[in-house]
């Protein structure tokens, strides 16, 4: 039986590792010919070997997505080799953990590098990829976005979050731009996914993240690749301008929140009103509140389970299966 991408001529950026590599392997398994665009030629060659090992066809296309002449040349090489293109997967990205920060502490060079790769790189890939799709009579574009760009759920990663917000906007406007010309543009939003880009996450931080995911585990790059394959295929002919969450964590990111700094004093809590934790700070903050027996007027939950709050000895109101914590702090509660 032919795969859902049989004969599709495809280019994938960031194909040397993580979700890009998983997409290349999945697309090839589904019958696509895959052009592997990556700044790391050795990593792209490794992906090509994996594709070939599964009986697929891969073309290694070394290129830096921030350099227009390089990405234009890579796309053109694939189009010439195969007589056109059908699918463009704009996936390459970076996350500069340890350098990215909130705005007042963020170095311009870190901001610029992140925007250059994550937003300008996506734009350049789409610019030249879509030109090839137009010449071929239409096709599909899939871009990798992030929940950080939609919900502000990664405080202290301002450059990364902003770059991904830009990708979201680009997806939506390009979908409107090219719908009448037979080109569909969609995106995927991976939640916390185990890839080389998340190696910086400590075991403790990972457990805190996992505690917010209903499925109780991280996503895998192969699961993201499966959604990409669907969006690129003829099984999604009426899907455009959509941004698909690929793991069940997405539902937990909805709603405004106030950032809690890493270093804070109990005087920070001497206010009346609602105080909302970052989702991955909640276990730490709740434990500190419980241990200090801080007077709290009430806790309404909608971000982590009420059971978690109750287990820490804090009275909670609300549905036991709801997920967020909001603490209404009594006046003068701090010490």
Catalytic site positions: 160
Instruction: Compute the radius of gyration of the chain from its Cα atoms.
Output: 22
Interacting residues of 48 by C-beta distance below 8 A, sequence separation 6+ = 36, 58, 59, 60
Residue closest to 299 by CA, chosen among 320, 278, 266, 327: 327
In a 10 Å sphere around its CB, with 0-12 CB exposed, 13-18 middle and 19+ buried, how is residue 220 labelled? Answer: middle
Evaluate whether 228 touches 189 at the Cβ level (below 8 Å).
no
Tokens of 321: 């299966």
Tokens of 23: 């997409």
Strand pairing category for 273-276 and 324-329 = antiparallel
Tokens of 132: 């090839």
Cα separation, 196 vs 297, whole angstroms: 43
* Stretch (H or E) spanning 11: strand 9-13
User: In angstroms, how far apart are the furthest CA atoms of the chain?
Assistant: 72
Interacting residues of 62 by C-beta distance below 8 A, sequence separation 6+ = 37, 38, 39, 41, 44, 74
Specify the length of the chain in residues: 335
DSSP 286-331: HHHHHHHT--EEEEEEESS-HHHHHHTT---BS-TT--EEEEEEPT
Could you give the 3-state DSSP secondary structure of residue 144? Answer: strand
Read off the DSSP letter of residue 219: B
Phi-psi region of 54 (alpha: psi -120 to 50; beta: other; left: phi over 0): alpha
């Amino acid at each position: 039986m032919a795969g859902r991408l049989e004969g599709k001529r495809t280019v994938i950026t960031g194909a040397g590792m993580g979700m890009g590599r998983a997409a290349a392997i999945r697309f090839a398994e589904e019958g696509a010919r895959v052009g592997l665009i990556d700044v790391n030629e050795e990593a792209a060659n490794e992906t090509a070997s994996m594709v070939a090992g599964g009986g697929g066809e891969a073309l290694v296309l070394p290129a830096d997505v921030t350099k227009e002449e390089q990405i234009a040349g890579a796309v053109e090489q694939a189009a010439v080799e195969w007589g056109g293109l059908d699918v463009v997967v704009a996936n390459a990205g970076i996350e500069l953990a340890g350098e990215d920060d909130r705005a007042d502490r963020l170095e311009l060079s870190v901001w610029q590098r992140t925007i250059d790769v994550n937003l300008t790189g996506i734009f350049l890939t789409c610019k030249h990829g879509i030109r090839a799709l137009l010449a071929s009579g239409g096709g599909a574009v899939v871009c990798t976005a992030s929940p950080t760009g939609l919900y502000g759920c990664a405080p202290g990663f301002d450059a990364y979050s902003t770059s991904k917000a830009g990708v979201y906007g680009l997806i939506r406007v390009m979908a409107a731009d090219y719908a009448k010309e037979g080109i569909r543009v969609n995106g995927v939003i991976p939640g916390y996914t185990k890839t080389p880009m998340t190696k910086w996450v400590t075991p403790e931080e990972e457990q805190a993240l996992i505690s917010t995911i209903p499925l109780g585990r991280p996503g895998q790059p192969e699961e993201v690749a499966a959604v990409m394959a669907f969006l690129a295929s003829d099984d999604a002919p009426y899907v455009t301008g959509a941004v698909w969450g690929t793991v069940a964590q997405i539902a937990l990111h909805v709603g405004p929140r106030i950032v809690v700094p890493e270093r804070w004093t109990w005087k920070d809590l001497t206010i009346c009103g609602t105080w909302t934790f970052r989702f991955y700070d909640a276990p730490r903050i709740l434990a500190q509140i419980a241990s200090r027996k801080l007077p709290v007027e009430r806790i309404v939950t909608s971000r982590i389970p009420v059971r978690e709050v109750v287990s820490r000895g804090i009275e909670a109101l609300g549905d036991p299966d709801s997920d967020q914590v909001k603490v209404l702090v009594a006046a003068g509660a701090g010490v």
